[in-house]
Homo-oligomer: A and B are copies of this chain.
Amino acid sequence: MSFNRPQLDPTPSALAQHQYRLLHDIYIQLDAADRAVLSQFDLTPSQYTLLALLNRDEGQRLITLADRLLVARSTVTRLIDQMEQRGLVQRVDDPEDRRAQRVILTLVGDNLLRQALAAHQESLSQRFDQLDETEQNHIVTILTTMRDSLQVYVDRVKNPA
């Protein structure tokens, strides 16, 4: 509740600060609600996102998963450890590269993910249904621009060539 009304301060830094704080507060709320929903299935948001990635493309390498999740490789190792022990996923040696391993969903994991996906999407819809569809489409457009523009910044910082 830091900014209850848009201030008309025209300086760029205040504007950026304002967007920043809004995004932060929104993220915190989304994350808390996610945890509540997913705890029904004994899943953390990370585990859920990882399963969803595996559902989209089976047999990805751990390092690919780490890149897509934007987390460290060791984190993926441990996430897969947990879920393999629960029988949700399975490691498979990559026949073409003996360093690498592919991760696939088991039947149990697939079933659990289906339920979690349904519950999560239902929850998301409820969370966003205060906004009408036109507004939501607008948000998607703008957020896409923002994400891509941030990506440009990150790349520029990482590789100043």
Binding site for B on A (CB under 8 A): 1-3, 5-6, 10, 12-13, 15-20, 22-30, 32-33, 36, 68, 70, 121-122, 124-131, 133-147, 149-154, 157
Q: Which of A122, A135, A144 gathers most chain B CB within 10 Å? A: A144
Q: How far is the CA of A1 from the CA of B57 in the complex (A)?
A: 14
Q: Does A150 contact B29, Cβ atoms closer than 8 Å?
A: yes
Q: Find A149's partner among B5, B6, B12, B130 (CB 8 Å cutoff).
A: B130
Q: Find A125's partner among B13, B26, B30 (CB 8 Å cutoff).
A: B13
Name A26's closest neighbour in chain B (CB-CB): B147
9 A-B pairs with C-beta separation under 8 A = A1-B68, A6-B140, A6-B141, A13-B125, A15-B140, A17-B124, A22-B147, A138-B142, A142-B142
Q: Does B127 contact A25, Cβ atoms closer than 8 Å?
A: no
Q: Find A16's partner among B29, B32, B124, B145 (CB 8 Å cutoff).
A: B124
Q: Does A139 contact B130, Cβ atoms closer than 8 Å?
A: no
Q: Does A16 contact B125, Cβ atoms closer than 8 Å?
A: yes
- Across the interface, which residues of B come within 8 angstroms of A16, CB to CB? 121, 124-125, 127-128, 136
